[in-house]
Amino acid sequence: MNTNFAIVIYRVFYFLLHCVFTKFETLQAFYKSQKNKLCHEFALVNDKKHFGKLGKTPTHLTVLLGGEEPSPKDLANLILWCMAAHITFISFYDYKGSLKKHENELHLVVEKKKAATDHVIWHSHPDGAWKNGYSGRKIHVKVLSENDGKGGVVDLTKKLARTSETDISIESFDAGLREQFEFPDPELAVCCGKTFCLYGYPPWQIRVTEFLNVDSHHNITFNHFVNLLQIYAKCEQRFGK
């Protein structure tokens, strides 16, 4: 009888302990999500609070999605956080081309999240690119796929071979690639996934790029983003010296 009673007490205690622990995990997850949300919203209105102490920030940050499926919600956060950090250009490289096919979804998420005075200039729409006269913060966004990588180099080589009356020079090739790429060379590349691979990223543009790795861009937090910029700010780039 005493043994059965002890078993019942043990089971009740175990059940209550399990409920308390589950409740604690739920509250902890909710707290973290709200904290990240508040940090994100605060960053949009108070840039200096989070980014003022950085010694340097990249002009162009590029994100290599690797083998991951694009998450519009998380990519939209990266766009807005870059704008808060006064990063002028951000590009996303999805070698599979999935993001290019569903880029409108990313547009909609960004439009819902950004402030009314912020301007996101999409370079997939020529009418909206490189316009002057914007007031408030702005950022240029470009989506790249495998066709913009090695395929772009091949296409430019064929074009120069057809149109050039003289020998093709490094200068003409470089100028053609820069015109094709539009953006300045990225100073910082964030590679997503546990396996580091460029997946055919445009090779001509990454001569002085600093590469950092994250396990995934899915559910990336604002604090993680700030940490990446802090690591970049401490990097000493010797440019071959």
Helical pair 72-84 and 103-113, crossing angle rounded to 10 deg: 50
The overall average pLDDT reported for the chain is 79
188-192: strand order across its sheet: 119-122, 138-144, 89-93, 60-64, 188-192, 210-214
3-state percent breakdown (helix, strand, coil) of the chain, nearest 5: 50, 15, 35
pLDDT tens profile 34-86: 555 555 554 554 555 677 778 889 999 999 999 899 999 999 999 999 998 99
What CA–CA distance (Å, rounded) separates 64 from 49? 28
pLDDT in tens, 139-192: 999 999 887 766 656 666 666 666 665 666 666 656 666 666 678 889 999 999
CA distances from 104 to 114, 139, 212 (A): 15, 17, 28
Q: Can you tell me which residue has the tokens 């709200």?
A: 34
- Within 8 A by CB and 6+ apart from 78, the residues are 63, 90, 217, 220, 225
Q: What's the predicted TM-score (pTM) here?
A: 0.71
Enter the tokens of residue 18: 């399990």
What pLDDT does residue 58 have? 94
Under 8 Å between Cβ of 86 and 213? no
Share of the chain above pLDDT 70, in %: 69
- Strand 60-64 relative to strand 188-192, pairing: parallel
The CA distance from 82 to 54, in Å, is 13
Dig out the tokens for 33 from the structure. Answer: 């999500």
